[in-house]
Amino acid sequence: MKAPVLEPVLDVRDLVVEVGTAHGPLVVVDGVSLAVAPGETLGLVGESGSGKTLTALAVMRLLGSSARIAGGQVLLEGTDLTTLGVKQMREVRGGRIGMVFQEPMTALDPAYTVGEQVAETVRRHRRVPRKQAWKRAVELLDRVGIPSPERRARDYPHHFSGGMRQRVVIAMALSCDPVVLLADEPTTALDVTVQEQILTLLAGLRDESGLALLFISHDLGVIADICDRVAVMYAGQVVETAPVHDLFAAPRHPYTDALLHCVPGAAGTRLATIPGTVPAFDALPPGCRFAPRCAHVAPGCDDGPVALEIVDPAHRARCVRLDELAEVAS
Amino acid sequence: MLRLVATRLLTLLLLVWIVSIAVFALVLLIPGDPTSTLLGDNATPEQVATLRASMGLDDPLIVRYGDWLGGALGGDLGTSMLTSYPVTQAITDRIGITVSLVVLSLVVSVVVGLAIGVLAAVRQGGVFDRIALLGSSVGIAMPNFWLGLVLVTFLGAELGLFPTSGYVDLGADPAQWAAHLALPVVTLAAGGAAEIARQARASVVDTLQLDFVRTLHAKGLSPLSIVGKHALRTALIPVITVIGLQVSRLFGLSVLVEAVFALPGIGSLMVQSVFDRDIPMVQGTVLLATVVVVTVNLLVDLSYGWLNPKAALTS
């Protein structure tokens, strides 16, 4: 696995996202920090509602009207995206940062051909003539592995399977050579065999162009497949971050550990589950947010907010009993 | 696509043919005899019999229908029973007025309705949205003839801004043509604009919540392009249905509006013919109205294919 030696191209610092509710704003992404270097893949893993997608949407500033960035910085090549004007932000979207979504079946406009949808992005950011944009769209469709792209570019989304549509979305996201690609569960909605193809494609494109990939998934198998480093999110916080090998070999946060045990094992073995449910954001525990479900919970866990502690230079975990539990494990 | 058009055209012809039978048959059900209208109450039975024979009223039904349909196909819808004026000629004399009225009203209601609807959807929940909602409710609830009378009374009679009745040919004096049609068009377009605005608002609001809109944002497109080029095209599908219905509705209501503003169009011709029991005239105008309505429906159906490529494939 590659070590992150390069300067991060995307550097999210202490990101806070609030959602407006009838009872006032609710913090749903709480002080998340992430950094991705060119050519590197950072996996963002967690259960539904842990804030993974909101983090990615906050980077794109596409949170919609109900949520807003309430604090922190999103540095793209040193520029803080949270301070950019609306117009400048539109240049970033699809230009410097591409995004791939979970549902390829509904991510494309049904009324336009896929070629037009890719070419439109090219025209938007490159200001090139129609013919040239179309040519580039066909090249891109070819690059993401769509057979006979010349002909297929004239087809509408409903002529494509889910996997092929996801390739189109990827082509669109990469059409203007972004430096960062946000992939929000890009394989979740696809068949297992197609998943593998899409992962291979993404990894190949990343290595070809050296883009920084933020890969969001709840599937640890997929994360292990493609990521260099992993950040585990729980209830709006990053609870552990480590190189992928370290995280799988020696998880330091009980939640990560529990998650790893939830992966199906050999046939006949019982699938492990984590007892309890993710706490609601308006009823978070005072201390460690995982404490109510944790197998290692101790009296000190509820005392107050827990900081992300350094395990080693590349590994951090948010656990009060970090050292005690390490001794137990060894 | 070509096969689709061919199938729809065939269906259309079949429909028009069925309607032609209905139109022909319906007139037989109208009480009274046209000869009594022509000859008055004091006619002798001999006079009636002679007239009936000369008008072909004694022929078997099928022969009468065949004669009428044959003529209609050749553009000859017979002659008026009262004035012996050719029906086709009477229609062509007046159709310009009705077409001007309906087409202008349609254009106004579509343009105004879409603009209000889309703007309200984009500013959902805002002040404009609320005003538009209120305005469109009023527009739908308000009877057309009443609005027409109000406009005639205030803008026409009181303030003298517009002529209150009559018609001037477009070719004769375009300014006068527009002035004479202004109030009728507003009267006729108000309800349609309100209806279209409501449908467009609801449809655009729904479309803007679809997943693909987020993709468009992620591409860096401007809101104008997202709404105008992408969302509107999907959102238009149900709106087109409403617009199609408006065409038929406008034709129907033009009868009233022509009466209020004393416009000598098809609508007033139709009403007068019914009162006069002028059967060929009624048949001709009703057949014309039918052809217009089914043609509009065909155009609406075909537009779905353009708006939604998936529909073009499956239908």
Give the pLDDT of residue B111.
Answer: 95
Give the pLDDT of residue B261.
Answer: 85
**DSSP character string of chain B:** -HHHHHHHHHHHHHHHHHHHHHHHHHHHHSSS-HHHHHH-TT--HHHHHHHHHHHTTTS-HHHHHHHHHHHHHTT---B-TTT--BHHHHHHHHHHHHHHHHHHHHHHHHHHHHHHHHHHHHTTTSHHHHHHHHHHHHHHHS-HHHHHHHHIIIIIIIT--S--S----TTT-HHHHHHHHHHHHHHHHHHHHHHHHHHHHHHHHHHHTSHHHHHHHHTT--HHHIIIIIIHHHHHHHHHHHHHHHHHHHHHHHHHHHHHTT--SHHHHHHHHHHHT-HHHHHHHHHHHHHHHHHHHHHHHHHHHHH-HHHHHH-
What is the mean pLDDT of the segment spanning A212-236?
93
What is the mean pLDDT of the segment spanning A280-287?
89
CB contact under 8 A, A111 and B234: yes
> Average pLDDT of chain A?
90
Task: Tell me how close the Cα of B72 comes to any Cα of chain A, in angstroms.
Answer: 42
Position A2 pLDDT exceeds 50: no
Give the pLDDT of residue B39.
Answer: 72
Give the pLDDT of residue B315.
Answer: 42
User: Per-residue pLDDT tens for A139-169?
Assistant: 999 999 999 999 999 999 999 999 999 999 9
Minimal Cα distance from A160: which residue of B? B310
Of B217, B234, B313, the CB nearest to A93: B217
Give the pLDDT of residue A29.
Answer: 94
Which residues in chain A have their CB less than 8 angstroms from residue B205's CB?
none
Give the pLDDT of residue A270.
Answer: 76
From residue A214, alpha-carbon distances to A179, A211, A247 in Å are 11, 10, 17
Q: Which two tokens stand for residue B122?
A: 């984009």
What does the buried/exposed string (b/e) look like for B23-34 if buried means 16 or more CB atoms within 10 Å of the residue's CB?
bbeebeeeeeeb
What is the mean pLDDT of the segment spanning A295-307?
88
CB contact under 8 A, A93 and B309: no
Give the pLDDT of residue A229.
Answer: 95
What is the mean pLDDT of the segment spanning A203-226?
92
CB contact under 8 A, B218 and A103: no
DSSP lists the bridge partners of residue A215 as A43, A183
Which residues in chain B have their CB less than 8 angstroms from residue A172's CB?
215, 219
Give the pLDDT of residue B37.
Answer: 67
Could you give the angle at the alpha carbon of A259 between the alpha carbons of A255 and A261, nearest 5°?
A: 120
Minimal Cα distance from A171: which residue of B? B219
Which of A121-130, A269-278, B182-191, B280-289: highest mean pLDDT?
A121-130
Give the pLDDT of residue B12.
Answer: 87
Minimal Cα distance from B230: which residue of A? A109
What does the buried/exposed string (b/e) look like for A128-165 if buried means 16 or more CB atoms within 10 Å of the residue's CB?
eeeeebbbbbbebbbbbbbeebeebbebbbeebeebbb
Task: Tell me how close the Cα of B235 comes to any Cα of chain A, in angstroms.
Answer: 11
3-state secondary structure of A52: helix
What is the mean pLDDT of the segment spanning A256-269?
81
With tokens 């949520």, the residue in question is A67
Of B216, B220, B234, the CB nearest to A110: B234
CB contact under 8 A, B230 and A169: no
Give the pLDDT of residue A277.
Answer: 85
| C-beta of residue A319 within 8 angstroms of C-beta of residue A301 | no
User: Per-residue pLDDT tens for B229-245?
Assistant: 999 998 998 898 888 88
CB contact under 8 A, A101 and B215: yes
CB contact under 8 A, B219 and A108: no
Position A48 pLDDT exceeds 80: yes
Question: Which of A54, A109, A172, A180 best probes binding to B when mutated, by most B CB atoms within 10 angstroms?
Answer: A109
Give the pLDDT of residue A93.
Answer: 95
Minimal Cα distance from B226: which residue of A? A109
Q: Touching check for B314 and chain A: CB below 8 Å?
A: no
CB contact under 8 A, A101 and B214: yes
CB contact under 8 A, A92 and B210: no
- Among B residues 288-307, those touching chain A with beta carbons less than 8 Å apart: 307
- Among A residues 94-153, those touching chain B with beta carbons less than 8 Å apart: 94-95, 98-99, 101, 103, 106-112, 120-121, 124-125
CB contact under 8 A, A106 and B219: no
Minimal Cα distance from B231: which residue of A? A109
Give the pLDDT of residue A1.
Answer: 47
CB contact under 8 A, B210 and A108: no
Give the pLDDT of residue A328.
Answer: 62
Distance CA A228, CA A220 (A): 13
Which residues in chain B have their CB less than 8 angstroms from residue A124's CB?
219-221
Q: What is the pLDDT along chain B (315 residues), one digit of tens a residue?
A: 677 778 888 988 898 889 888 888 866 776 666 676 667 777 788 887 887 777 777 777 888 888 888 888 888 888 887 788 888 888 888 888 898 899 999 999 999 999 999 999 998 888 999 999 898 988 888 887 788 888 888 887 777 777 777 777 777 888 888 888 888 898 899 989 999 999 999 999 999 999 999 999 999 999 999 999 999 998 998 898 888 888 888 888 888 888 888 888 898 888 888 888 788 888 888 888 888 888 888 888 888 777 777 766 544
- Structure ipTM: 0.89
CB contact under 8 A, A111 and B214: no
Q: Touching check for A218 and chain B: CB below 8 Å?
A: no
Which residues in chain A have their CB less than 8 angstroms from residue B309's CB?
110-111, 156, 158
Minimal Cα distance from B223: which residue of A? A90
Give the pLDDT of residue A327.
Answer: 67
CB contact under 8 A, A109 and B309: no
